[in-house]
Chain A
Amino acid sequence: MTGQAAQTLYDKLWQSHLVKARTDGSALIYIDRHLLHEVTSAQAFEGLRLAERPLWRSGSIVATPDHNIPTTTKERLAGLDGIVDPVSKIQVKTLDDNCNEYNVLQFGMNHPGQGIVHVIGAETGACLPGMTIVCGDSHTSTNGALGALAHGIGTSEIEHVMATQCLVAKKMKNMQINVNGQLGLGITPKDVILHIIGVLGTAGGTGFAVEFGGDVFRNMSMEGRLTVCNMAVEVGARAGMVAVDDITIDYVKGRSYAPKGDLWTQAEAAWRNLVSDDNAKFDQVVTVDAADIKHQVSWGTSPEMVVDIDGKVPNPALEQNADKKAAIEGAIKYMGLQVDQNIRDIHLDRVFIGSCTNSRIEDMRAAAAVVKGRTKADSVKEAIVVPGSGSVKRQAEAEGLDIIFEQAGFEWRQPGCSMCLAMNADKLLPGEHCASTSNRNFQSRQGFGGRTHLVSPAMAAAAGIAGHFVNVNELGAVQ
């Protein structure tokens, strides 16, 4: 490597996909994998059709409906007829029609391979280390956990990638977030990323591609890394990523679309280089001590409004910045909380375990371990567990997790985005508080007037049992 400057992982991914650097600072970047779902793709297909343009490479695309589909079994099995909302139904049908017309691989709503688009990419091996991956959805950053450059794009860009296989992009800056040391008992990847968002704020990563490094990420499972990278966009970073190591390689090996035989050997050798070089230059480095990370609960209407389980709702009078003070006041009012209220005293109406952040098998296991032998609090109207894909669902059922949930009074559902953003029938009613393993606590995100608290799967499960937030470590012995 004599003469070549040390590169970050992001530098390597960028350079290996650079088709053309233009004189004005923009560049054409080649896209390896394009994921589609029903909400943001229809207008892009329509644009292609109007301009009479073909897809550049239909084989690069994988589509699945996830946002609008029912998660209740009876409605789901009825197919399109089971979607009550006529506009939702048109959207799902439009994806079917477009995929048929353009010969695009689609895992339809009742296909065994269906799932949340950000879950099935890594799970099937359709998304691989070293790829550039885009999707018309900000949580595409999830797939960066594989050592890939993955980020969300808008619908005009979807059409652009469909027609040209490229994205017009500008290189982002490099940020490294290191979490060093040992995580405390029961602290999960979700707590790690919520804590990071609390430290950096929702704009702290704007303009950056973020690489997560340090002891904690080196020791974290691939599913945990997927959770963390999923929420990179919640610090404002379009892309999050983790360097390739044995954990990455072991995870990818044997997946249905992963290379096999000689191709595997060749691919693995290339992927082993997908790490930041020693002395690679980052524009910003953030270091977090793992010991500082406690169980996290969001109290407000932005993912940065997060505190430890032992914390309190903040007092806006102590905030100096006028905009932040107004935001805290507004959030307390919307959330129906009191200044200095203990987080443990927030009572829940519903629990949602699922979403592209936390619906993989490890999440299902973590939640099941908490509810096993226990019963949902009567005050909690509904607790739903929504696996991220058909594959996760089958695995969980093979392990008997569905039975554990149902015995505890938690409903076991069909895979989809569900109550993360409530585009289907799963939603909060006005004023209801929800312990949710999703990624955004924006106003009305989970239903008009709904109040979302972001937590890990174990903490959501524990809240469902207790009826209010508790430290899952202190739940005590099963009765």
Chain B
Amino acid sequence: MRSFTQLNGLVGPMARANVDTDMIIPKQFLKSIKRSGFGKNLFDGLRYLDEGLPDQSCVGRPANPDFVLNQSRYQGISVLLAKENFGCGSSREHAPWALEDYGIRCIIAPSYADIFYNNCFKNGILPIIADAKVVARLFEQTEQTQGYRLDVDLDAQTVTTPSGEVITFEIDEFRKHCLLNGLDDIELTLQDAADIRAFEDQAKVQSPWLFAALT
């Protein structure tokens, strides 16, 4: 996994609450058996006017002029501003895969759906939870200022605006550690293999029906 330490990134606004993962990456693209290549279909139903198909080139497809991230000023964003309950619905990890492939490394929103939030950390994306009023202010500043960028520092747990305002955020220690170092958490868990075996041995005695062979 790519590590996340610091980022100075162009910011794009997604001013809509309850953005679900069907919206982030529609189901027809879930047929891929790969983890990459989903970026061109990020927000497909909002971004293009026609119906997107898997394995199709997006070059020449009609772009939706009303979709905010299609504006030239937002090309190359790596920070996405979002609203409440971002990433709700389906557990598809294709949603963070699509965001990451598109170039987004950090999301700032007042709240996220649980599974999506979790999935971000497995893919080198930092989902920052910020106060709704702070997020609203960032939306205003982004919309008012062409080329608006934010400085994100995970180690310091800060977001700094162009005017020098410093916004702090909270994050779990373990998730921060893994993200800062780009750690594979399977390797970390396997360091506790002896504990897992011991737990399992005890469970086999206490609840043997849980280990019955299925045929």
Do these two chains really belong together in a complex?
yes
Contact of B214 among A62, A165, A421 (CB under 8 A): A62
Complex: A164 Cα to B45 Cα, angstroms: 37
Q: Besides the contacts A24-B172, A56-B196, what 18 more A-B pairs have beta carbons closer than 8 Å?
A: A25-B172, A28-B196, A40-B92, A53-B186, A59-B214, A87-B31, A157-B118, A157-B122, A166-B196, A202-B18, A202-B88, A203-B18, A236-B85, A238-B115, A263-B209, A444-B22, A448-B51, A449-B51
B:162-215 near A, CB below 8 Å: 172-175, 177, 184-186, 189-190, 192-193, 195-196, 199-200, 203, 207-215
Residues of A contacting B26 with CB < 8 Å? 444
Contact of B207 among A91, A170, A267, A444 (CB under 8 A): A267
Q: Is the CB–CB distance between A324 and B17 below 8 Å?
A: yes
With A28-B196, A168-B189, A448-B51 as contacts: A40 and B212 at CB distance below 8 Å: no
Q: Is the CB–CB distance between B91 and A32 below 8 Å?
A: no
- A155 CB–B CB distance under 8 Å: yes
Chain A: CB-nearest residue to B210: A32
Q: Nearest chain B CB to A337's CB is how many angstroms away?
A: 19
B:9-33 near A, CB below 8 Å: 16-18, 20, 22-23, 26-28, 30-33
With A25-B174, A257-B214 as contacts: A206 and B28 at CB distance below 8 Å: no
Q: Nearest chain B CB to A434's CB is how many angstroms away?
A: 15
- A431 CB–B CB distance under 8 Å: no
Contact of B33 among A46, A206, A421 (CB under 8 A): A46
Q: Is the CB–CB distance between A259 and B212 below 8 Å?
A: yes
Residues of B contacting A440 with CB < 8 Å? 20, 22, 89-90
Residues of A contacting B92 with CB < 8 Å? 39-40, 154
Contact of B88 among A26, A236, A323 (CB under 8 A): A236
- A126 CB–B CB distance under 8 Å: yes
Interface residues of A (CB under 8 A from B): 19-20, 22, 24-26, 28, 30, 32, 39-40, 42-43, 46, 51, 53, 56-57, 59, 62, 67-68, 85, 87-88, 90-91, 94, 105, 126, 128, 130-131, 136-138, 151-157, 159-160, 163-166, 168, 170, 172, 202-203, 206-207, 233, 236, 238, 257, 259, 263-264, 266-267, 270, 302, 323-324, 326-327, 330, 421-423, 440, 442-445, 448-449
Residues of B contacting A30 with CB < 8 Å? 196, 199-200, 203
Q: Is the CB–CB distance between B195 and A19 below 8 Å?
A: yes
Q: Nearest chain A CB to B166's CB is how many angstroms away?
A: 25
Interface residues of B (CB under 8 A from A): 16-18, 20, 22-23, 26-28, 30-35, 45, 51, 54-55, 83-85, 88-93, 96, 111-115, 118-119, 122-123, 172-175, 177, 184-186, 189-190, 192-193, 195-196, 199-200, 203, 207-215
Residues of B contacting A42 with CB < 8 Å? 33
Which 4 pairs across A and B sit closest by C-beta, in order of nearness? A156-B122, A42-B33, A154-B93, A152-B91
Residues of A contacting B193 with CB < 8 Å? 164
With A40-B91, A423-B31 as contacts: A154 and B45 at CB distance below 8 Å: no
Q: Is the CB–CB distance between B118 and A154 below 8 Å?
A: yes
Contact of A130 among B18, B85, B207 (CB under 8 A): B207
Complex: A421 Cα to B88 Cα, angstroms: 15
Residues of A contacting B85 with CB < 8 Å? 202-203, 206, 236
Q: Is the CB–CB distance between B190 and A238 below 8 Å?
A: no
Q: Is the CB–CB distance between B91 and A128 below 8 Å?
A: no
Q: Is the CB–CB distance between B119 and A154 below 8 Å?
A: yes
Chain A: CB-nearest residue to B115: A152
Complex: A20 Cα to B203 Cα, angstroms: 14
Contact of B20 among A28, A91, A153, A442 (CB under 8 A): A442
Residues of B contacting A327 with CB < 8 Å? 16-18
27 intermolecular pairs with C-beta atoms under 8 Å apart: A19-B196, A20-B195, A24-B174, A25-B172, A28-B192, A30-B196, A39-B31, A46-B33, A87-B54, A128-B209, A138-B91, A152-B91, A153-B91, A154-B91, A154-B115, A155-B93, A160-B185, A163-B189, A164-B196, A168-B189, A202-B18, A202-B85, A423-B30, A423-B31, A442-B89, A445-B22, A448-B45
Chain A: CB-nearest residue to B45: A444
Contact of B23 among A202, A326, A442 (CB under 8 A): A442
Complex: A445 Cα to B27 Cα, angstroms: 7
Complex: A159 Cα to B184 Cα, angstroms: 11
Q: Nearest chain B CB to A465's CB is how many angstroms away?
A: 30
Complex: A158 Cα to B65 Cα, angstroms: 38
Q: Is the CB–CB distance between A207 and B114 below 8 Å?
A: yes
With A206-B85, A236-B85 as contacts: A39 and B30 at CB distance below 8 Å: yes
Residues of B contacting A238 with CB < 8 Å? 114-115
Contact of A19 among B18, B51, B199 (CB under 8 A): B199
Q: Is the CB–CB distance between B32 and A87 below 8 Å?
A: yes
